[in-house]
Amino acid sequence: MIEYAVLYERGERNWSAYVPDLPGCVATGKTREEIERRIREAISFHIEGLKLDGEPVPPPTVEAGIVSVSA
């Protein structure tokens, strides 16, 4: 198993997600649950395409965190 950081963004009417370590690997959906399923599928598809093209699969390098500050 390999784990990549995924960034989720909520829009006015949908969600989007992308994987910084896999440029071009993105997904959209109406709910957070849907976008989690879709980005998982997108990651698998992206890695499969890299392997078919003889390209290396980038290792995960991005780490995400949450920082609390007073506003």
Q: What pLDDT score does 20 carry?
A: 97
Q: What is the mean pLDDT of each run of 10 residues along the chain (71 residues)?
A: 95 96 97 97 98 97 94 86
SS3 content of the chain, % helix, strand, coil (to 5): 30, 15, 55
Q: What pLDDT score does 71 carry?
A: 86
Q: What pLDDT score does 22 carry?
A: 98
CA-CA-CA-CA dihedral for 36, 42, 45, 49, to nearest 10 = -150
Contacts from 56-60 at CB under 8 Å and sequence distance 24+?
A: 57/2, 58/21, 58/22, 59/2, 59/21, 60/2, 60/3, 60/4, 60/5, 60/21
Task: Pick 7-52's CATH classification: 3.10.20.30, 3.20.20.70, 1.20.1260.10, 3.30.160.250.
Answer: 3.30.160.250
Q: What pLDDT score does 48 carry?
A: 98
Q: What pLDDT score does 28 carry?
A: 97
Q: What pLDDT score does 26 carry?
A: 98
